[in-house]
């Protein structure tokens, strides 16, 4: 009977060893699949992150260009406003003339005398 028990135990050990080997192989395969999946997901995330950063950089550059353009437009507007509005100054002249300075490049002198029409002189 001991031979029979030994055969049963040997068969059980063999089947258990095969089952353990199969389980180990299954776990190794699952681990490889999981690692492969993780690596693929990491690549996808890295690609999306790179695309997002490139888009962000493009938008930041566009904003910088627009800000520069707006700054130039504001400066041009201020210059134009300065030319158009100028600085008006009243000066009490003995002959009753009113001098209006529009800009550094243009000045007009309106003079009048009682009983005569306005005269415009430019220089």
Q: Of the ranges 2-6, 9-13, 84-88, 101-105, which one carries the lowest mean pLDDT score?
A: 101-105
| Residues 16 and 47 grouped into a single domain | yes
Strand partners, 84: none
Q: Are residues 102 and 61 in the same domain?
A: no
Report which DSSP code applies to 33. H
Query: Contact 58/75 with Cβ under 8 angstroms?
Result: no
Do 49 and 91 share a structural domain?
no
Is there a single domain that holds both residue 70 and residue 95?
no
Structural domain boundaries enclosing 72:
1-85
Its pTM stands at 0.46
39-92: per-residue pLDDT in tens?
A: 999 999 999 999 999 999 999 999 999 999 999 999 998 888 777 765 444 444
Q: Which element (helix H / strand E) includes 119? A: strand 119-122
Token pair belonging to 72 = 């130039």
Q: Are 62 and 104 in a shared domain?
A: no
Number of domains in the chain: 2
Q: How does pLDDT run across 101-117, given as a tens digit for each residue?
A: 555 444 444 444 445 55
Are residues 119 and 66 part of one domain? no
Helix (H) or strand (E) holding 98: strand 98-101
Structure token digits, residue 51: 């695309």
Instruction: Indicate if 4 and 62 belong to the same structural domain.
Output: yes
The answer on 92 and 67 residing in a single domain is no
For residues 91 and 81, state if they share a domain. Answer: no
């Amino acid at each position: 009977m001991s031979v029979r028990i030994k055969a049963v135990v040997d068969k059980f050990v063999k089947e258990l060893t095969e089952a353990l080997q199969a389980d180990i192989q299954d776990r190794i395969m699952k681990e490889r699949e999981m690692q492969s999946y993780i690596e693929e997901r990491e690549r996808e995330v890295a690609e999306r992150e790179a695309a997002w950063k490139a888009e962000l950089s493009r938008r930041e550059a566009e904003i910088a260009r627009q800000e520069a353009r707006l700054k130039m437009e504001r400066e041009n507007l201020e210059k134009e406003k300065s030319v158009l509005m100028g600085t008006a100054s009243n000066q009490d002249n003995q002959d009753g003339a009113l001098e209006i300075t529009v800009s550094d490049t243009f000045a007009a002198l309106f003079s009048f005398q009682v009983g005569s029409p306005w005269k415009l002189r430019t220089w």
